[in-house]
Amino acid sequence: MEDGKNANPLILNPSDLPTRRRRASARQDHSALDVSLAYPAPSFSNDPFARSSSPSSIEESDSDAEDEPIDTQEIYDLIATMSDPEHPITLGSLAVVSLPDIAITPTIPSRPASNLQTVTVLITPTIQHCSLATVIGLGVRVRLEESLPPRFRVDVRIKEGTHSTADEVNKQLADKERVAAALWNPTLQSFIKKMLETCE
């Protein structure tokens, strides 16, 4: 362990990770089994002659009426499938990122009309002196910056009390210029590329 690697981390089961619950408004799906017993739609219901220019069947389940704002679960889904640089295991399974440690807040609270928002992600390294905490932080930062619209500010930090040199790492992660400089480093680039390969 002296090299700052954790060879035997705790792993969460995929079915225990937070996921988006089935929407209540989703079509009536009471199926308890994977087999579909639903009786076939009547043969006469398929009528291409009767459709309007935007088909009603698509319209009902798929309209813009319901707004789906970006929420913490969505942020989680973006980063939880990234893999740890030293294990072929996702950050979600390793609990490096977790849903309660993600927050979305208005960037300028005094101006409610502004749509600028800040995403804060707290990272929990698998061990106190994890040598790769900075790399993981950078990876998460890169993933979020390329995946979120420009009105979002990204703030990635080490969770308090989980890392021996948290302050130093945080300083590096918060420093735009140091982040940009680090991303020019080819070794880091390949590390981050590898982390992002498993993104779903």
Q: Which residues bind other proteins (CB under 8 A)?
A: 7-13, 15-16, 21-22, 28, 30-35, 37-40, 42-44, 46-51, 53-55, 58-59, 62-64, 67-68, 70, 74, 78, 87-89, 146-151, 193, 196, 199
Structure tokens at 188: 């880091």
Name the nearest CA neighbour of 139 among 95, 198, 98, 99.
198
Given the complex with other proteins, which of 77 and 169 has the nearer CB atom?
77
| Contact assessment for residue 93 and residue 14, using Cβ atoms and an 8 Å cutoff | yes
CB of 136 to other proteins, least distance (A): 17
Given the complex with other proteins, which of 174 and 196 has the nearer CB atom?
196
Residues 21, 33: Cα–Cα separation, whole Å: 17
Given the complex with other proteins, which of 11 and 103 has the nearer CB atom?
11
Given the complex with other proteins, which of 7 and 180 has the nearer CB atom?
7
CB of 170 to other proteins, least distance (A): 26
Task: Order the strands of the 102-106 sheet from edge to edge.
Answer: 102-106, 117-123, 152-158
| Contact assessment for residue 156 and residue 137, using Cβ atoms and an 8 Å cutoff | yes
